[in-house]
């Protein structure tokens, strides 16, 4: 269980700080507020936060300088919040190392959405290589990366068309899919093939499934198309 994230806010208007703080607290974050650039920098050196929300115009150290100072020593995400809404200001802020730039007045809900988006990005980068894209259907695992379907961890050796067809049916599991839809989505509309072509591939698919030992059945929906069910 991950700890609560700690967020520092720096703005010389105390009211702004408090408003943002109350929203972030409601979202379950730990929050500390500061009213000038120097105090947030000192606090950060003392105890690093997980994200900073800073204003541009502040006493002691302004937001731009603060941003580059922090960036020299940390990869912590920074969101700049400012009344300065000109393009050069935004670009300066983003270029100096901030992850986002919001102009006042802004919606607290949007700020929260953007904070979450940044945290999600960090998570995605962290787990990137561990995520496996696969669909489970009955006793079969369909792995889109490997482009193969497995039963008991063993590849059942589907061809391209067979794989695409099974993949499409699995994406629409428990739902009947018409032949026309299959021809359109799996075969592609530039192909002029007989409707019966689907039957052929289904036939081969069924054979390979049963040969592999799987008990997954592709149901026929009479006069319409086919369907696979989540549980075998």
Coil, strand or helix at 105: coil
Q: CB of 72 within 8 A of CB of 54?
A: no
Taking CB under 8 A as the criterion, the residue among 2, 3, 129, 189 binding a second copy is 129
Q: How far is the CB of 159 from a second copy (least distance, A)?
A: 7
Taking CB under 8 A as the criterion, the residue among 37, 63, 97, 138 binding a second copy is 97
Binding site residues, DNA, CB under 7 A = 157, 159-162, 179, 187, 191, 193-194, 196-197, 199-204, 206-207, 220-225
Tokens of 98: 């901030």
The answer to whether 6 contacts a second copy (rule: CB under 8 A) is no
| Partner from DNA, a second copy, none binding residue 109, C-beta < 5-8 Å depending on class | a second copy
Task: Restricting to residues 155-214, name those near a second copy by CB under 8 A.
Answer: 159-160, 174-176
Q: How far is the CB of 202 from a second copy (least distance, A)?
A: 17
Tokens of 22: 């109350």
Between CA 46 and CA 26 the distance in angstroms is: 25
The answer to whether 83 contacts a second copy (rule: CB under 8 A) is no
Q: CB of 54 within 8 A of CB of 40?
A: yes
Coil, strand or helix at 75: coil
Of the candidates 186, 204, 205, 195, the residue with the CA atom closest to the CA atom of residue 225: 195
Q: CB of 220 within 8 A of CB of 198?
A: no
Interface residues toward a second copy, by CB under 8 A: 72-73, 75, 77, 87, 90-91, 94-95, 97-100, 107, 109-110, 113-114, 116-118, 120-122, 124-129, 131, 133, 144-147, 159-160, 174-176, 221-224, 227
């Amino acid at each position: 269980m991950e700890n609560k994230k700690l967020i520092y806010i720096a703005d010389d208007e105390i009211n702004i700080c408090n408003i943002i703080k109350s929203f972030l607290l409601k979202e379950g974050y730990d929050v500390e507020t500061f009213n000038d650039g120097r105090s947030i920098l000192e606090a950060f050196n003392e105890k690093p936060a997980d994200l900073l929300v800073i204003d541009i115009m502040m006493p002691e150290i302004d937001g731009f300088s603060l941003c580059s100072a922090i960036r020299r020593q940390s990869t912590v995400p920074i969101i700049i919040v400012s009344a300065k809404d000109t393009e050069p200001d935004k670009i300066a802020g983003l270029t100096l190392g901030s992850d986002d730039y919001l102009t006042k007045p802004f919606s607290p809900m949007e700020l929260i959405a953007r904070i979450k988006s940044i945290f999600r990005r960090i998570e995605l980068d962290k787990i990137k290589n561990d995520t496996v894209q696969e669909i489970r259907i009955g006793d079969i695992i369909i792995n889109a990366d490997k482009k193969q379907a497995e039963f008991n961890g063993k590849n059942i050796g589907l061809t391209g068309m067979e794989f695409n067809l099974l993949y499409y049916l699995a994406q629409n599991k428990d739902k009947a899919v018409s032949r026309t839809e299959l021809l359109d989505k799996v075969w592609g509309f530039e192909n002029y093939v007989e409707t019966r072509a689907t039957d052929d591939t289904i036939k081969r698919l069924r054979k390979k499934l049963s040969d592999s030992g799987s008990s997954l059945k592709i149901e026929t929906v009479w006069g319409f198309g086919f369907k696979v069910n989540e549980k075998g």
